[in-house]
Chains A and B, each alone.
Chain A
Amino acid sequence: MKSYFLLSFLTCANFLNIHVCLANHSNNWAVLVDTSRFWFNYRHVANVLSIYRSVKRLGIPDSQIILMVADDMACNPRNPSPATVFNNADQQLNVYGDDVEVDFRGYEVTVENFVRLLTGRLPPDTPRSKQLLTDEGSNILIYLTGHGGDGFLKFQDSEEVTSQELADALEQMWQKRRYHEIFFMIDTCQASSMYEKFYSPNILAMASSLVGEDSLSHHVDPAIGVYIIDRYTFYALKFLENVKLKSRISMKSFLGVCPKQDCISTVGVRIDLFHRDLAKVPITDFFGSVRPVELTFDFLDISNTPL
């Protein structure tokens, strides 16, 4: 049996002849934050879980997704169907899913924890699942949703992060080589004010509304009794549901995901910090984790390769 095992291992090694394409990034991470507490903010939890569902479906593992949810909607006593969060009143898509892992929840969702997570300045006992272990090859998707205003985003109705603080946190990340590229998405009122202060390179930013505009919710589920999702994220999820791992949809087409007649608010985009042609950036550079692998059927000499 042992010899068979060795044989199989060698055969396996012969097949492991993999050429890695020259990809711009080496790994993908996602930081998804819902900053709102209380039942009437159900829609914000549905928003963040919609994006969570998409990035997980497109291959980013749970260990590389930091999910922050400020309140428990799924098992809330007011939820008529426990352990579910729906994006639509037709209740076809449970965005909460059956194997969700929430890294920061409830009172843990604070500005301090969020900024510490981004900058990596954490207490020594912090478990791995609550750390953003990125490097200079990491592409990070940052998605925020909650209640905001011109230049700030509220956390749990008790504190707020300002656009300047956020911009400084990202600059600190850049200086510490904690990212390669960032796609920053935010769904809140006056959302574009949050990215206006950014000054670090390689950031592509997108917001659900411009300064002076409100972001609007999509529709009410009478069974749940509150608005269940916001317009911008509703259409983003609709778009992302059609993305497959191998599809060549570009970021440019994603930026047009919610035209004004759908969103009612104007979607804001900031591209001056980002130096690639958006039409050539596949959407899976941020929403998925695609390892460019090429197979070869030639034999490869691995005798000199250090194991």
Chain B
Amino acid sequence: MVLVYKMSTKSLWLLFIFIGSSYSETYSEELFIKPLATGYVYSFFQFTVIREDDSFKHSTLFPHSLGDIIDRFHVAELNVDLTSGLWKHKSWGYPAVDAPSGAEISARFHNDTQDVDKHWYGLTNALSGLLCTSLNFINSANSYESSADRVYRYSNLPRENVCTENLTPWKKLLPCDSTRGLSSLLNSGRVHNANYHSLGIHFRPLCNAGKCKYELRQTVSLVYDSIFISFNNNYDWSLRKMFGTGLFKTCPLADYSKIYLDTSSNSSVPYLISQEPDYVLKNNIAVYNLNGIFHLSAIVPRPKIVVSELRPLLYTDRFITGFGQEYGGLVTRIYNDHKSPIIATVIENIPWFLPIYYHTLKVTSNGIRIIPKALIYKPGKGRVRIYYLEIVLELAPRSVTEISVQFDYVFLKWQEYPPDANHGFYIGSAIVKATIPRNATSLTFDKSLIIDNLNSTGDDYLICLKTENFIITLPTPDFSMPYNVICLACTVVALAFGPIHNITTKRLKLTTAKYVPGLASVAQKLYVLMETIFMLKSKKTGKPTPVKVFTPEELSYHPTLGHVSEEFMKNKGN
């Protein structure tokens, strides 16, 4: 059996080579490491497959399971991100891929797609099976279509957690799985121990003069606290400390594997790197070509003062206001630190169970009320549609722009509450899109490969910021109330029914009881006892005491006792 198996794998390999020759696909593995301010280390993995053919019937490197889904649901562009943690723009700058906590998915379908919604729900269901996520919860009540683009759909599920069951199928999409190459660094225990981790799948066409290529980028963003991962309470970091393993073999299917290390923070906090780079890009990016065993570590002296890097030009802040469980407010702040104005688009998607009052919408810049350049508002509808708010703003130089709106907390139907309703309800992030000058950020990530991004020049760079999620407590009913009501009602009924039933169905009658008070009763009991012991041994059973039942005629009336027997009255008279 072993022999047979060996032979068949060999022939399979040959089969691969035959098919592979006719389709052009390239694959590259890259890892970008950047030490962030305050001792954090950002590592960004990118596995890129680029192919020239958009029919996914045959492929060698492009994952079949994903190709089938893309084909079947007419997908032109797809972004899926599964994230845990919050990216702190203010202190960390911009990430390569900005994703809010939870699951986020957006897709653009082919322009000729007829029933876009049907394809959208089909796509999310298929991806939920592929990635072990609950993307099948996406419906019209938590997704929206772009105001400008008929074939674009977006949704996020802020409650979605990310764990090994998502990483496993994600890794299976890679040509080398996790056995070789950079993906062997992705051990579930380490990935999910990061302060911020995000898995992504990004598919898009790259068209140039009518000729298209198709790019699939699988990305992982990880942020580790170097104090937490180093045991000596210092800022040192290494591949082994972060990922629990070194790098042993490169993936033979990759056209190239590279590691880039951003050393731009070396100017403020100089640190030592264990390996000499193969070459240096733009004076501050160390590049390592991988071919075999590789290890990288850095010794970072503990700085006396932690110097935060250049603040990003644009960052956001979002929170809720108000108290109690009746009314609340939602505030989104956008900080522009640039010396010239920036045009930004803010998209708020607010779930239907948080109905907003449009008339309370207020946009202020440095405290002065302004009028947005454009505003699109689609009111929500209970259980069917979100409240969609798209605002185009001109952010004044060095300003804080604040968008605020009031909302109601609503009661849901009893069955609509999740099993852990008291945990609260998650509200997804808002999106802020803006074009900033390319030189205003140290790194840009809009090209296919990281190396192209590092080399890129140009004028503008489109950034897409995702704000914080937040959690609200909707007024939750007391779920044990029906039970309590049943218990209480039953008690009341039982208490009421018993006496009423007795009163209406039974007649009270008085009989005389044999009653001898005091010493005499003891004597009588003794007598009875003696009688049973001495005299009546043969009589096993005692004589039943005859109870005299009186007819109403026999009864006579006593002023305090009511109807009593005549005998009683006679005795009393005596």
Contacts and interface: CB of A to CB of B under 8 A. Distances in A.
Contacts of B441: none
A127 B164 contact: no
Interface string A71-106: 010110000011110000000000011111111011
A263 to B, nearest CB: 29
Contacts of A126: 125, 129
B161 A96 contact: no
A191 B1 CA distance: 43
A262 interface: no
B283 to A, nearest CB: 38
A69 to B, nearest CB: 8
Interface in B129-187: 129-130, 132, 134, 136-137, 159, 161-165, 168-169, 187
Interface stretch (B11-19, B233-241, B470-478): B11-19
Nearest to B126: A127
A299 interface: no
Contacts of B159: 106
Contact of B122 (A103, A106, A125, A157): A125
A103 B188 contact: no
A12 B8 contact: yes
A229 B369 CA distance: 59
A202 interface: no
Q: Interface SS of chain A: helix, strand, loop or mixed?
A: loop
A161 B19 CA distance: 51
B132 A101 contact: yes
A239 interface: no
Q: How large is the interface on A (under 10, 10 to 19, 20 to 34, 35 or more residues)?
A: 35 or more
Interface stretch (A3-11, A167-175, A213-221): A3-11
A12 B7 contact: yes
Contact of B192 (A1, A15, A75): A75
A295 interface: yes
B199 to A, nearest CB: 12
B84 A75 contact: yes
Nearest to B417: A158
Contacts of A108: 134, 136-137
B14 A1 contact: yes
Contacts of B136: 108, 125, 127
A75 B125 contact: no
Contact of A75 (B10, B11, B161): B161
B170 to A, nearest CB: 11
Contacts of A101: 132, 165, 168-169
Contacts of A162: none
Interface residues of B, number: 41
A105 B192 contact: no
A130 to B, nearest CB: 6
Contacts of B193: 81-83
B191 interface: yes
Nearest to A157: B419
B187 A75 contact: no
B420 A4 contact: no
Contacts of A16: 4
A96 B164 contact: yes
A98 B122 CA distance: 29
Contacts of B3: 15
Contacts of B28: none
A142 B266 CA distance: 58
A101 B65 CA distance: 16
B552 interface: no
Contacts of A9: 11
A97 B189 CA distance: 10
B164 A100 contact: yes
Contacts of B125: 125-127
B135 to A, nearest CB: 10
B164 A98 contact: yes
Contact of B419 (A37, A83, A295): A37
Contacts of A199: none
A22 interface: no
Given A15-B4, A125-B121, A125-B125, A8 B165 contact: no
A84 B191 CA distance: 12
A276 interface: no
Nearest to A69: B165
B187 A98 contact: yes
B419 A15 contact: no
A5 B15 contact: yes
A101 B159 CA distance: 19
A8 B10 contact: yes
B168 A99 contact: yes
A23 B4 CA distance: 22
Given A98-B188, A130-B129, A8 B11 contact: yes
A100 B163 CA distance: 10
A128 interface: yes
Nearest to A11: B7
A190 interface: no
Contacts of A1: 14, 17
Interface string A105-118: 11110000000000
Interface in B76-109: 84
B18 A5 contact: yes
Contacts of A103: 129, 132
Interface in B1-53: 1, 3-4, 7-8, 10-11, 14-15, 17-18
A129 interface: yes
Contacts of A15: 3-4, 7
Contact of B137 (A74, A107, A129, A156): A107
A15 B132 CA distance: 38
A157 B137 CA distance: 20
A301 B418 CA distance: 62
B193 to A, nearest CB: 5
B128 interface: yes
Closest 6 CB pairs of A and B: A127-B129, A75-B163, A156-B419, A125-B125, A102-B165, A158-B419
18 contacts: A2-B18, A5-B18, A8-B7, A15-B7, A72-B163, A82-B193, A83-B164, A83-B188, A96-B164, A98-B187, A99-B168, A100-B168, A125-B121, A127-B125, A127-B129, A158-B479, A293-B1, A295-B1
Given A81-B189, A82-B193, A99-B168, 6 more contacts: A74-B164, A98-B168, A108-B136, A127-B136, A129-B132, A130-B129
